[in-house]
Amino acid sequence: MIIFEYLADLFGAIPAAFISGILPIAFVVPYALFAVYWERKVSAHMQDRLGPMRTGWHGYLQTIADILKLIQKEDIVATAVDKPLFNLAPILVFAGSYAAFAAIPFSSAYIGANVDLGMLYIIAVSGLVVAGILMAGWASNNKYSLIGAVRSAAQIVSYEIPTVIVILTLFSIVGTLNLYELSEIQSSNIFNWMIFGGNVIGWKKIVLIPLMFAAFIIIYLTTLAEVNRTPFDIPEAESELVAGYHTEYSGMKFAMFFLAEYANMFAVSAIVATLFLGGYHSPFGYLGNLLGISWLVPVEQFFWFTFKGLGFVTVQMWLRWTLPRLRVDQLMTVCWKYLIPLSFVIFLLVSLLMVL
Amino acid sequence: METKTSHLRSEEMILNMGPQHPSTHGVLRLEVELDGELIIDVRPHIGYLHRCFEKHCEAMTYPQIIPYVDRLDYLASMYNEFGYALAVERLAGIEVPPRVEYIRVIMGELQRIASHLVAVGTYGLDIGAFTPFLYCFIEREKILTLFEMTCGARLLYNYIWVGGVSHDLPPDFIRLTKEFIVTFKPIIAELNNLLSYNKIFIERTANVGILPLDTAINFGVTGPNLRASGLKWDLRRDDPYSIYDKFDFEIPVGEGWHGTVGDCWDRYYLRMLEMEQSIRIIEQAIEQIPDGDVTSAIPKRIKPAEGQIYSRVENPRGELGYYIVSKGGLQPHRLKVRPPSFVNLEVLGELCKGHLVADVIAILGSIDIVLGEVDR
């Protein structure tokens, strides 16, 4: 049973909606703190360094110390900025990336809002991030910020197209955009995961598998670009644009952008995991079912979900610390000349297959 | 329906890159004229590090100048000293013992490797690959440790003196250098796999910032940048100084491996190849190094006869020349440095035209300048 329904029985619908809306924050904030720490450790160990070691055991408290420092910092606002937009931008960016968590099913017992058009909602809401970034770049009244923001807008808008086409492809197989239902379809068996063709059976499944693998790679690349991570991190390319759209931000506003970036990384990883890798479902079956403890199953599901999400986040970090950065025209080439045609071909083939 | 756009003003944007910018390799200001992301013109503004080196030299005796020479190209201090000592020795007619020559060559070539490692590592950083930078610095650290055990300093050495070197090599130096060479050879291959042959890296640098040979010669470009454009011109071979004629090494030239001859990738990769050649020289020098006193030829007082000299060496970045005029006193009457970085930087505007903003960084990094030398 979904937590929301349980709470609605107890307190009524509105307080229940409020409580279940607050829950993702209880996940996102500790996750972001951990992810920042994790990124530092991953990068450090890739570069023969130790990373943070002083604050707490193996530097565990480093990000908390950083956040405390950022809170205490003077909030510098340059005189020539457009103040309302400048102050609104980090909030908007964080809101956009946080709102996406609402429609992501963390386990069979928890989804913030069980919307029928969940996937479309996520795509739409992450569009807010573009508005926030453009706002930040424009309001900062800084040329680096402006270039970064314009690049970012172009990039995110372009890369949404192949993402949506891949989602359409999935839709043509399962017939639902509800992420909760999509996760349930992929239950019980690893070969029911969408990357192995979902619940389709017979010869069609064998044809679907390579197509789904290709679609998976496409959506992984495009989501990487949507969160501005290397090799697609040209909006904040520190060697060219200093820090891109958040050059002028300091203190807590900077931390908001930072937090939003890490929240976004998990959001897109979670979406990819939900769409292709069975969402919260375990690849092996559940200990709870084996022991007959029914409440253990959702907990295990939550574990698997975070495991998959963090796995993708780690791959994103791995790529970041290995690869150089593309140039802006090459970035567009990758999207328009390769990913979009390829995703269209996959979409057509899959639709054809499902009609047969 | 007719749309009115005539009232909309469109103009080029001037972007000031630097003097505080992550990728200008020091305090360089680039005035970049942009049309969107496209570059119309790049004008370098220099002088932020100017410290009157040449004028200052006129008030100092010849040995006193050596520490200041270190601060020109602070990534290649050994080679600056080498060049300066050579110039004064030629001016004053001082012969140095053979062991000193070998020590100088070993130090110079180690310095060349250290300098190229910084060039290669920071170039990766410019393109956006962070990790190779630290891999390069691990190796550079080993070289700096060798220098430190020799003369006590890690960056500005004051080691090569007129007529000799300040100390003899420490007892372990030869053994440790051999160990370093053994461990360093596979590192070059590793760096190549990590960065040089990376598809994205090649896409970013091949066919970008092509420097044709005639332009390079007209602008007076020297060093790896000139060789990457296809001319086999290396002062160690073409105007031999010290004992470089005793060693067997090759001079790599740009061949347009992944694009056109003289593009950024060529300039980058040439430094990789040069490090291999430097290792060859060091290996030979270590085999042949004779025993002897290293301080015996250092004069108590350097007072060259009236005259002038232009002496040049192949510094990691190109032709480093010292023009010294002596009026017979203890101080030089005039000392002029021909710095390779300064001359190589001139060509930047020519290379950047028609490229994108991101390419400015790629091109500037491939030219490999050190601002301490550009401004003096």
Query: Which chain A residue shows the shortest CA-CA distance from B135?
Result: A47
How far is it, in rounded angstroms, from Cα A147 to Cα A154? 11
Q: Say how far residue A138 (Cα) sits from the centre of its chain.
A: 25
Sign, Cα dihedral of A168, A170, A171, A176: negative
Residue B170 has pLDDT above 70, yes or no: yes
Residue B230 has pLDDT above 70, yes or no: yes
CA dihedral A139, A141, A144, A147 (to 10 degrees): 60
Structural domains of chain B in order of their starting residue, each with its CATH number: 50-374 (1.10.645.10)
Q: Which residues contact B308 (CB under 8 A, 6 or more apart)?
A: B91, B323, B324, B325, B326
- Residue A274: name the closest of A231, A234, A312, A244 by CA: A312
Q: Is B39 exposed, middle or buried (0-12, 13-18, 19+ CB in 10 A)?
A: buried
From B20's Cα to the closest Cα of chain A, the distance in A is: 9
A325 → closest Cβ in B15, B127, B134:
B127
Q: What percent of chain B has pLDDT over 90?
A: 7
User: Which residues of chain A are modeled with pLDDT < 70?
Assistant: 1-4, 235, 237-239
Burial letters for B56-71: b for 16+ Cβ neighbours within 10 Å, e otherwise? ebeebebbebbebbbb
> Does A231 sit within 8 Å of B128, measured CB to CB?
yes
What is the pLDDT, as a whole number, of residue B116? 92
B330 Cβ under 8 Å from any chain A Cβ: no
> Does A48 sit within 8 Å of B135, measured CB to CB?
yes
Residue B87 has pLDDT above 60, yes or no: yes
Query: Which chain A residue shows the shortest CA-CA distance from B202?
Result: A324
Contact residues on chain A for B356, CB-CB shorter than 8 A: 327-329
From A324's Cα to the closest Cα of chain B, the distance in A is: 4
Residue type, A176: T
DSSP state of A194: G
Give the start-end residues of each E strand in chain A: 105-107, 110-111
Query: Which chain B residue shows the shortest CA-CA distance from A232?
Result: B128
**Triad B375, B316, B152: Cα angle to 5°:** 85
3-state helix, strand, coil in chain A (%, to 5): 75, 0, 25
Residue B221 has pLDDT above 60, yes or no: yes
What is the pLDDT, as a whole number, of residue B5? 62
- Residue B37: name the closest of A330, A163, A122, A111 by CA: A330
Burial letters for B224-239: b for 16+ Cβ neighbours within 10 Å, e otherwise? bbbbbbbbebbbbeee
Is residue B285 within 8 A of residue B61, CB to CB? The reply is no
Contact residues on chain B for A330, CB-CB shorter than 8 A: 203-204
To test the contact with chain B by mutation, choose from A45, A228, A323, A333 the residue with the greatest count of B C-beta atoms within 10 A, namely: A323
What is the per-residue pLDDT across B317-356, written as a single tens digit (0 to 9) for each? 888 999 999 888 888 898 899 989 888 888 888 888 888 8
Residue type, B217: I
Give the C-alpha distances (Å, rounded to integers) separating B337 from B69, B242, B376: 10, 19, 9
Locus of tokens 């200008």:
B24
From A211's Cα to the closest Cα of chain B, the distance in A is: 25
Tell me phi and psi for residue B322, to 5 degrees: -120, 125
Rg, Å, chain A Cα set: 21
What is the per-residue pLDDT across B98-131, written as a single tens digit (0 to 9) for each? 888 899 899 999 999 999 999 998 888 888 888 8
Q: Using N-to-C axis directions, what is the helix angle for A251-276 and A296-320, rounded to 10°?
A: 110
Residue B76, both tokens: 């290649």
Is residue B259 within 8 A of residue B265, CB to CB? The reply is yes
Rg, Å, chain B Cα set: 22
> Does B22 sit within 8 Å of A239, measured CB to CB?
yes
CA dihedral B193, B197, B198, B202 (to 10 degrees): 160
What is the per-residue pLDDT across A329-340, written as a single tens digit (0 to 9) for each? 888 888 889 989
What is the pLDDT, as a whole number, of residue A239? 67
A321 → closest Cβ in B15, B131, B195:
B131
Residue B313, both tokens: 């060496």
To test the contact with chain A by mutation, choose from B25, B31, B130 the residue with the greatest count of A C-beta atoms within 10 A, namely: B130
How far is it, in rounded angstroms, from Cα B37 to Cα B47? 27
Give the C-alpha distances (Å, rounded to integers) separating A241 from A18, A156, B119, B236: 41, 18, 21, 40
Query: Which chain A residue shows the shortest CA-CA distance from B22?
Result: A239
What is the pLDDT, as a whole number, of residue A232? 78
Do the strands B307-315 and B334-338 form a parallel or antiparallel pair, or are they unpaired? unpaired
* Interface contacts A/B by beta carbons within 8 Å: 78
What is the pLDDT, as a whole number, of residue A176? 81
B123 Cβ under 8 Å from any chain A Cβ: no
To test the contact with chain A by mutation, choose from B190, B357, B359, B364 the residue with the greatest count of A C-beta atoms within 10 A, namely: B357
Is residue A248 within 8 A of residue A142, CB to CB? The reply is yes
A324 → closest Cβ in B127, B359, B360:
B127
Is residue B290 within 8 A of residue B169, CB to CB? The reply is no
Q: Using N-to-C axis directions, what is the helix angle for A251-276 and A143-174, rounded to 10°?
A: 20
Tell me phi and psi for residue B32, to 5 degrees: -105, 125
How far is it, in rounded angstroms, from Cα A153 to Cα A127? 10
Residue type, B18: G
Q: Which residues contact B218 (CB under 8 A, 6 or more apart)?
A: none
Q: Is B183 exposed, middle or buried (0-12, 13-18, 19+ CB in 10 A)?
A: exposed
Residue B1 has pLDDT above 60, yes or no: no
At residue A230, the 3 state secondary structure works out as coil
Q: Which residues contact A296 (CB under 8 A, 6 or more apart)?
A: A286, A287, A288
From A323's Cα to the closest Cα of chain B, the distance in A is: 5
What is the band of B4 on the pLDDT scale with cuts at 50, 70, 90?
low
B200 Cβ under 8 Å from any chain A Cβ: yes
What is the pLDDT, as a whole number, of residue A345? 92
Q: How many residues does chain A have?
A: 356
The region, left, alpha or beta by phi > 0 then psi within -120 to 50, assigned to residue A197 is: left
Residue B2 has pLDDT above 60, yes or no: no
B200 → closest Cβ in A43, A233, A326:
A326
A328 → closest Cβ in B15, B131, B356:
B356
Tell me phi and psi for residue B112, to 5 degrees: -65, -40
What is the pLDDT, as a whole number, of residue A341? 92
What is the pLDDT, as a whole number, of residue B113? 92
Mean pLDDT of the B85-91 span: 89
Contact residues on chain A for B204, CB-CB shorter than 8 A: 324-327, 330
- A positions 231-290 inside 8 Å of B (CB): 231, 233-234, 237-242
Residue B309, beta-bridge partner list: B324
Mean pLDDT of the B158-165 span: 88
This prediction's pTM: 0.84
A240 → closest Cβ in B124, B198, B358:
B358
Contact residues on chain A for B361, CB-CB shorter than 8 A: 239-240
| Chain mean pLDDT for chain B | 86
What is the per-residue pLDDT across B14-40, written as a single tens digit (0 to 9) for each? 888 878 887 777 788 888 888 877 888
Mean pLDDT of the B215-222 span: 89
What is the pLDDT, as a whole number, of residue B6? 65
Is residue B271 within 8 A of residue B177, CB to CB? The reply is no
